[in-house]
Structure 1
């Protein structure tokens, strides 16, 4: 058992009474992958288990299930197979093919850069698996070396379809881009839209990294890298590593073109291109070998064999002449008696059967020439039709993407493709494209049409204005439900409020065309899909006056406030150690705001004054003005009943004595002579 069993409670657990978890393979942001045994089929599998703290998040759970569905639709030697998916309590899991080995990231960390041959072999395997996904209408959206698995037996497989989407789902969630920033295509950075060409961009970045040992763009912040993807051109690998073949430079440039229309349309097109280059480099072509027709010799009918005794006619080579006045027999040594001489015979004449064969051969040759002419004519006609329907005026072209460009730029792009831009432009509401810029075309971009087709340019009229519902004073859930269908809700901002109940909307803010904030309580309409940020009350800051400093700190931290400075102050009303006052450093206070505390030191100390010699009334007044209590023993002298003895008798001493430290509320006893 793995050494991480002591810290990972999943080790040794039986999932769904079938999969026994053996050890941990890897841990990611959404799930952990374990090596497990399928006890029913007695085989090793990889089981991916979603983190427990994400179980209550419906979005994460749906994305996790989507990964299983996407991968299960695919079956290819270069894709990791998915066997099963399910949930046990709060544990959601996916069971996959176990691939013992390393990832491409591990290989790059070990060797830094790969040879062109190694890089090409790996990219071909990745493209082969990716082509299967693209053919099924699935876009991976998270291609990176960590998701390319290199098995110990030499197999190369592509895995982790956690961010995969159908090729028609081209949106990202809000401003949060899914996928690893180093491999995101420009359109994902700028528009959040992804299709098969976005995967091709990531493949190009991986090929660059394999050839050079580094990524093309670097930065301390993710936004710096994203900006380079959107605005810069990926350099040629040979500029970093001299000796990289120019074909691979061209392949990287093709795959990482900023405009998706300039890239391969999918993995199959790029794979076919790589295969063609390798054939041209090695000469490995399939060649058709044509065999020549057999020649046929036709002998004259009745020609004698070599042993014939009759006189024979000697056949000369084609174009030769028959010798006259001499038989073949005359030329043979040992023939004393010449045979009868055959005269009047045309040496080039054929027998009737031979003539028929010769005629048939001539007809076949004529038919062959006629057939060749027909084939050539048909080929020329086909080539002409192909030219007309291809690069010629009758061919099909794809309508280019012109959204976000000016009308003049859009016209130039359309005409460059052999299309006609309609004289009259149209308008449409668009929540993304600024007013006055091109929003779309009719027919839509990427559609395949005949050259010369008239395409209307639709200009953005800005977002459609929609009446705002009641927002302020509503609960946050009610306000979000009312706004979610028409507007782009941003993450709420929270602040403490003594006047507004918790989870109630305090304010709503939008953005104008210049990006400035707009108080939505002052307007009645707002643009469709416009961003809205709700400010929500957290309720009042906890009242910690009268609590001990420790209890006050605990109460503040419970609502994500912190304790700032702690001053001490004497207080006649608040016992020592308790909080006299608490004041947030920010107004309004938000989560994370520091709260300054003033803690009581108890009543202030008093040095007991000397009242010796003062009358009892004078001494009592002095002490009571200091907040002290005064005690005077009753006068027992009978004379005290006949005059105001407190106004006449002097104080002889105090208890406690003069100079003693006392506090407000303490009792001082006065002594006097009776």
Structure 2
């Protein structure tokens, strides 16, 4: 059913849902548009509406080939909407769900496009704060780029900032998507341009590997890993690309590249990656509860069944990783220093080789049990061998002399 958005736009059908609202296919004076209608609880917040109006100039002035332009901001009664260019294509999350991981050349080309868009935004003083595959759109109608990639455009600029009002999130709260949050946000520092670089490097890692470097499990554990863990290497990629990833995933914001530098470095690597197939990397740990159930039953995944992989954390109970309607934003307490440090109260993991089980995980416990069982069987076999040897030895010895006390003649 069509609905009016302000006096100039009409929303016809829903294209998708996100944590902040619903995206509609709409029509305006200049033709088709995409309309992001924010949630009612957001539109009724007068403080947010004020910030919405204040951000209008910055958002409307952000024009770049790799940014989905905001054409208008509408405040009309209970409606609070961003009117954006309509991109004929899909989002990067949908492609990842379909292909699992991309060839390095295509992955790097997409990341370079996004970095170009971020460079323009940062130059205009705008920090995205929620770079993730769901917010990267692929233009299916344009020409193909390196590795058969479609032109990538970054969307949803300003939405995370609008939601993160002082009244909604105090200094002890975090707004964002756990898998892509930079360590300084987890530690409660204000977000600067470097948080977008960290998030984009996380997305590139995910495009190459099929999973994020610090994801999996409870969101609180994911946040701690961003602060405490070292990223696990990806075998099979050129060292130049790996060093670039490591630099942009640095814990210290000042160590990361600027967006313009990252875009240039990524494009320099494209000839080196031409023709490389998608990486063949070990899947990370599956869900611990699922692993435990499989261990108890002794069952392995059926042939042809997809293996659950660690990806973006869905925060809506029951939501599947491929559910584009899931709410991936969260507002969480900033972990205390002792929790971030790991140890008895924390869940930080020591760096480990790719494919190695995480200490304390169900997979690690299963490996430990198998080792103990193997040692026990070996000990039993050795014991049995020792008994058999003793019996063989005793069969070859002469019988002992008769018991003189029992064989002595009776006294007269």
Give TM-score scaled by structure 1 length: 0.37
Equivalent residue for 1:371? none
Q: Distance in 2 between matches of 1:151 and 1:64?
A: 28
Q: Secondary structure at the match of 1:178?
A: strand
Alignment of 1:321-360 (within 5 A): none
The match for 1:155 is: 151
Deviation at 1:218, TM superposition (A): 3.0
Contact residue 24 and residue 32 of structure 1 kept, 8 A? yes
User: CA offsets per residue over residues 263-310 of structure 1, 9 Å max, x none?
Assistant: 11x20111122233446789xxxxxxxxxxxxxxxxxxxxxxxxxxxx
**2: CA distance between counterparts of 1:30 and 1:66?**
18
Task: Give the corresponding residue for 1:187.
Answer: 184
- 3-state secondary structure, aligned to 1:215: coil
Shift of 1:107: 0.7
Alpha-carbon RMSD? 2.5
The answer to whether residue 216 in structure 2 is matched with residue 226 in structure 1 is no
Tell me what 1:116 maps to. 104
Per the TM alignment, residue 62 of structure 1 is displaced from its structure 2 partner at its CA by 4.2
What's the offset of the Cα at 1:121?
Answer: 0.7
| Maintained 8 Å contact 1:99/1:149 | yes
- Secondary structure in 1 aligned to 2:174? coil
Equivalent of 1:268 in 260, 268, 279: 260
Q: 1:32 aligns with which of 4, 11, 22?
A: 22
Seen in structure 2, the aligned counterparts of structure 1 residues 151 and 281 have a Cα distance that, compared at 3 Å, is closer
Tell me, yes or no, if the aligned pair for 1:211 and 1:244 is still in contact at 8 Å.
no
Distance 1:62 1:103, change over 3 A: farther
**Structure 2 CA distance, aligned partners of 1:281 and 1:205?**
19
**What is the alpha-carbon distance in structure 1 between the residues aligned to residue 77 and residue 3 of structure 2?**
13
For the pair 1:125 / 2:113, whether they are aligned, the reply is yes
| Contact 1:230-1:258 at 8 Å conserved across structures | yes
Equivalents in 2 of 1:132, 1:173: separation in Å? Answer: 29
- d(CA) in 2 for partners of 1:281 and 1:31? 38
Match of 2:374 in 1: none
**How far apart are the structure 2 equivalents of 1:63 and 1:107?**
34
Name which structure has the greater RCO, CA cutoff 8 Å, separation 6+: 2
Contact 1:142 1:164 in 2 (8 A): no
User: Matched residues in 2 for 1:65 and 1:48: separation?
Assistant: 15
Gap runs ≥5 in structure 2: 142-149, 275-331, 333-337, 339-412
Q: Offset at 1:106?
A: 0.6
Query: Which has the larger helix fraction?
Result: 2
Q: Which has the larger radius of gyration?
A: 1
The 3-state SS of whatever aligns with 2:190 is coil
Describe how 1:589-608 pairs up with structure 2 within 5 A: none
Aligned to 1:136: 124
Report how far residue 140 of structure 1 moved: 1.0
The corresponding residue for 1:525 is none
Does the CA-based 8 Å contact 2:58-2:124 persist in structure 1?
A: no
- In the TM superposition, 1:34-113 aligns within 5 A as 34-38=24-28, 40-41=29-30, 43-62=31-50, 64-65=52-53, 68-113=56-101
Structure-2 separation of matches of 1:278 and 1:182: 26
* From 169, 173, 176, the counterpart of 1:176: 173
CA deviation map 1:293-328 (0-9, x unaligned) = xxxxxxxxxxxxxxxxxxxxxxxxxxxxxxxxxxxx
Specify the SS of the correspondent of 1:177.
Answer: strand
Distance 1:268 1:28, change over 3 A: same
Counterpart of 1:667? none
- SS of residue paired to 1:105: helix
How far apart are 1:68 and its partner, in Å? 4.5
Q: Secondary structure at the match of 1:139?
A: coil
Q: 1:111 & 1:66 partners in 2: Cα distance?
A: 40
| Count of equivalent residues | 263
Contact 1:21/1:37, CA 8 A, preserved across alignment: yes
Structure 1 unaligned segments of length 5 or more: list them: 1-10, 283-490, 492-513, 515-674
The answer to whether the aligner puts 1:254 opposite 2:251 as a matched pair is no
TM normalised by structure 2 equals 0.59
Q: Of residues 240, 244, 261 in structure 1, which corresponds to 2:237?
A: 244
Choose which of 6, 21, 39 in structure 2 pairs with 1:16. Answer: 6
Query: Structure 1's 206 and 245: CA in aligned 2 closer, same or farther, altered over 3 A?
Result: same
Report the Cα distance in structure 2 between the residues aligned to 1:235 and 1:68, rounded to whole angstroms. 41
